[in-house]
Structure 1
Amino acid sequence: MTEPGAVTESLVVPRTGTAVIETRGLTKRYRGGQLAVDGLDLSVPDGSVFGFLGPNGSGKTTTIRMLMGLIAPTSGTARVLGDPMPGAARTVLPQVGTLIEGPALYAFLTGRDNLVRYDSADPAADPRTRHARVAAALDRVGLGAAAGKKAKAYSLGMKQRLGLAAALLQPRRLLVLDEPTNGLDPQGMREIRTLVRELAADGTTVFLSSHLLDEIEQVCTHAAVMARGRLITQGPVADLAAGTRGRLAVTTPDPADAARILKEHGLTGVTVDGDRVTAEPPSREVELADLSGALVHGGVRVRSFGVERASLEDAFVALTGEGFDVAG
């Protein structure tokens, strides 16, 4: 996750206008009574990079499958690009690029030939420019050098890239990505984040599902948080954590002494991670200057001290009372 005070790349500012995705009371109940999505009211602004955030099993993929017309909702409505789904699927889907639950590939074909097959299945694709489109899509996701390899020899991360390339064969108004960095190493994750920003800057709305908080925080302009099939909150990423208190953080070569002193002064949630000690912020009756002075007076060598900005992780825990997978 981005360190406090670190400078991050600027995010795309979404255009104002109608929602690209809008749901009202969207619900999916499977046989046996399992409620996968419960009354979802979602609104994705045009031009945004929209993060759809939640733990595995929270209902994200089921929601995406309903939005794309792959399964029917039990109740409620969904509109994509202004049209009802699944009824308008033939009109909507040619304008949407998708990568859902990993790409479906022909293992015995090369990466290039897989994309040729995908492109050939698109009735709107001009066959005269097919090979140029395929080459451009492969280069854009960093697979140009591996285009001649058979898909069965691809790593999981390479298969994810190839699936993303398939979604980029044609210009799209909307790109729907379900866990797009799954299987990628840190460098690959950075490249995909950069690509998402570029696509949004070119006018594509990106709907990105992930269980990784740092991924959402770094690349998205807006986000929605799901838990146990229900929408917890949604809005601009910068606003989601605004109402959540941050953590008091102390960096010191004497973490055990720092933790003891903070506890003695009534602070709760004290944790130690290497030379970093964090705690719930003190009440308004306790001055930060007094805490800092107590640490110094107690012989703690303080390298940094202060209350950090609340993160999406803090907001999620505050809203749900649950922990979250924040691995990057």
Structure 2
Amino acid sequence: MGEVSATEPERSEARAGTGEPVIATRGLTKRYRGGQLAVDGLDLTVPAGSVFGFLGPNGSGKTTTIRMLMGLIEPTSGTARVLGQPMPRATRAVLPHVGALIEGPALYGFLSGRDNLIRYDSADPAADPRTRRARVAAALDRVGLTAAAGKKAKAYSLGMKQRLGLAAALLQPRRLLVLDEPTNGLDPQGMREIRTLVRELASDGTTVFLSSHLLDEIEQVCTHAAVMAQGRLLTQGPVAELSAGARGRLVVATPDPAEAARVLKEQGVGDVVATDDRVTGEPPDRDLAEVNAALVTAGVRVRGFTVERASLEDAFVALTGEGFDVAG
């Protein structure tokens, strides 16, 4: 029997988790004027070398958390450490090692994509002006914007602007890359390219902290994840463990869906959904062999009987009790 190859997230997970966390918060809290509690006692740990997915429904406090981690706003209470340094006190020491794309890129519309990156790089005191144009060209190539480098940024589509913002974050080697909705506005091909880029960065040793509302994207590329709702952390850990914590779906393939649905309900299967040739539902707390036997005894022609592995979306819904919408 041949060996089973590990997926890229699994290989990255094996590399992650050693040494001091790249991000660590303890009791991190942000309360705005008027009493609005945006982030409530957050204890977050992002292992070095991980691709960390930060998940939560609209208004869950993700972007507020990211802004505190980057020193853009002060926490009301609690602590945040990034690359081993306290934030926001160590902002000047930490940010040169961090690439970030938060709430979309800020661009000069009257400048070309290339000239925008030159401006960004010129503002970085650690950037070597002798290698500036070469690094700008390399960053543009890495995000697929070489052909549009001379085009004014105001003529860029939303997806092209996202790519340019990501290029700005990649002008220098980074220990940490923070991306807030990086695939916003991208077509499926662009999303695949960004996913591939994130994997490449992780394989090079960069820790990637990725906020997104696209759960399938997170599941494909992330090694670890955290779920927030209403400002509080619900869970965090390796993606495989989060998915395993949710129950899968019982799937019965049959040409008798109506009768199968009736029997499954009698056997305690919940949320039963029947289509032309299959019935699905939440597995009951009993031996599934007995459920299968009940179907056969009732004369249902069973052509397939299995439990599909729970997805990250199943875990999210189980934790939050709601579907996923645009991240906030």
Both proteins in one fold, TM over 0.5: yes
Q: Does 1:310 align with 2:310?
A: yes
Q: Which residue of 1 aligns with 2:203?
A: 201
Distance 1:33 1:111 in 2: 41
TM norm structure 1: 0.91
Q: Secondary structure at the match of 1:234?
A: strand
Q: Relative to structure 1, is the Cα distance of residues 29 and 207 closer, same or farther in structure 2, using a 3 angstrom cutoff?
A: same
Q: Relative to structure 1, is the Cα distance of residues 106 and 224 closer, same or farther in structure 2, using a 3 angstrom cutoff?
A: same
Q: 1:128, CA displacement in angstroms?
A: 1.2
Q: Which residue of 1 aligns with 2:293?
A: 290
Q: Which residue of 2 aligns with 1:10?
A: 8
Q: Which residue of 2 aligns with 1:278?
A: 280
Aligned partner of 1:174 among 173, 176, 179: 176
Q: Secondary structure at the match of 2:283?
A: coil
Q: Which residue of 1 aligns with 2:187?
A: 185
Q: Which residue of 2 aligns with 1:83?
A: 85
Count of matched residue positions in the alignment of Structure 1 and Structure 2: 318
Query: Is the contact between residue 79 and residue 85 of structure 1 (CA under 8 Å) also seen in structure 2?
Result: yes
Distance 2:46 2:243 in 1: 19
Q: Relative to structure 1, is the Cα distance of residues 77 and 276 closer, same or farther in structure 2, using a 3 angstrom cutoff?
A: farther
Task: Please tell me the residue identity of whatever aligns with 2:132.
Answer: R
State the Cα deviation string for residues 263-296 of structure 1 (Å, max 9, x = none).
Answer: 343321112467553200023145253255368x
Aligned partner of 1:63 among 38, 62, 65: 65
Q: Does 1:322 align with 2:325?
A: no
Q: Relative to structure 1, is the Cα distance of residues 272 and 140 closer, same or farther in structure 2, using a 3 angstrom cutoff?
A: farther
Instruction: Decide which moves more: 262-271 or 95-104.
Output: 262-271
Q: Relative to structure 1, is the Cα distance of residues 167 and 256 closer, same or farther in structure 2, using a 3 angstrom cutoff?
A: farther
Aligned partner of 1:158 among 157, 160, 169: 160
Q: Relative to structure 1, is the Cα distance of residues 121 and 270 closer, same or farther in structure 2, using a 3 angstrom cutoff?
A: same
Task: Please tell me the residue identity of whatever aligns with 1:218.
Answer: Q
State the Cα deviation string for residues 154-183 of structure 1 (Å, max 9, x = none).
Answer: 111111111000000000000000011111
Instruction: Decide which moves more: 228-237 or 281-290.
Output: 281-290
Distance 2:274 2:150 in 1: 50
- Cα root mean square deviation, aligned: 2.2
Distance 1:212 1:128 in 2: 40
Query: Is the contact between residue 260 and residue 295 of structure 2 (CA under 8 Å) also seen in structure 1?
Result: no
Q: 1:8, CA displacement in angstroms?
A: 8.3
Query: Is the contact between residue 261 and residue 294 of structure 1 (CA under 8 Å) also seen in structure 2?
Result: no
Q: Relative to structure 1, is the Cα distance of residues 57 and 272 closer, same or farther in structure 2, using a 3 angstrom cutoff?
A: farther
Query: Is the contact between residue 29 and residue 36 of structure 1 (CA under 8 Å) also seen in structure 2?
Result: yes
Q: Which residue of 1 aligns with 2:215?
A: 213
Task: Please tell me the residue identity of whatever aligns with 1:320.
Answer: T
Unaligned runs of 5+ in 1: 1-6
Instruction: Decide which moves more: 104-113 or 282-291.
Output: 282-291
Q: Relative to structure 1, is the Cα distance of residues 308 and 114 closer, same or farther in structure 2, using a 3 angstrom cutoff?
A: same
Query: Is the contact between residue 16 and residue 47 of structure 2 (CA under 8 Å) also seen in structure 1?
Result: yes
Q: Which residue of 1 aligns with 2:241?
A: 239
Q: 1:250, CA displacement in angstroms?
A: 3.1
Aligned partner of 2:32 among 30, 39, 64: 30
Q: Does 1:138 align with 2:140?
A: yes
Task: Please tell me the residue identity of whatever aligns with 1:22.
Answer: A
Identity percentage of aligned residues: 80
TM norm structure 2: 0.91
Q: 1:111, CA displacement in angstroms?
A: 0.9
Distance 1:276 1:64 in 2: 43
Q: 1:216, CA displacement in angstroms?
A: 1.3
